[in-house]
Amino acid sequence: MKVCRRETFNSAHRLFNPDWSDEKNFEVFGKCSNPNFHGHNYVLETWVEGDIDLETGYVIDLKYLKDLIRNEICERFDHRNLNLDCEEFHSLKPSAENIAVVIWNILRKHLDNRYQLSVRLWETENNSVSYSGL
């Protein structure tokens, strides 16, 4: 059984490779390499898979999951510049892929081993990535 909590956060980022020229960065990353950054309204789906607990009827208490995501992820990244404000991305490009891996690693530490965890991060209405630890 899988359950999901949806949370949102707004962050700025810039995708660029310092080893490349401005032209090559623009060619590869387009507007995402704009030197003055740009923002996204990220939508984070946190999926937890496990057995239904006989005593509660829950897989996991979604209130616990909500508080965990808000405290550990939203507090950390909401209204931040990922490149400049967040040490997680000082040497890691803040692409949706890398953000999802960072989020998964943080949440994984707080979840009991009996749960499988997977995160889906929507960067735009049409583009999302998913990470399950593999």
| Non-local CB neighbours of 122 within 8 Å, separated by 6+ positions | 42, 43, 44, 45, 128
* 45 included as an active-site residue: no
Q: What angle do CA 44, 46, 50 make, to 5 degrees?
A: 170
Q: Which of 13, 32, 86, 88 is catalytic?
A: 32
82 forms part of the interface with Ni ion (CB under 5 A): no
Token pair 């965890």: residue: 117
Stretch of residues binding Ni ion (CB under 5 A), selected from 27-35, 44-52, 80-88, 98-106:
27-35
Closer to Ni ion by Cβ: residue 39 or 133:
39
Shortest-Cβ-distance residue relative to Ni ion: 32
32 is an interface residue for Ni ion by CB under 5 A: yes
Nearest distance, CB of residue 133 and Ni ion, angstroms: 24
Nearest distance in Å: CB 57, Ni ion = 40
Asked about 32 being catalytic, the answer comes back as: yes
Q: Is 93 helix (H, G, I), strand (E, B) or coil?
A: coil
Count the residues of the shown chain that bind Ni ion, applying the rule CB under 5 A.
Answer: 1
Kindly write down the DSSP assignment for every residue of 15-81, as one continuous string.
---TTS-HHHHHHHHGGGG-TT-EEEEEEEEEEEE-PPPTTTS-SS-HHHHHHHHIIIIIHHHTTEE
**Options 24-32, 53-61, 69-77, 112-120: segment touching Ni ion (CB under 5 A):** 24-32
Residues annotated as catalytic (active site), given as ranges: 32, 79, 123
Give the binding site for Ni ion (CB under 5 A).
32
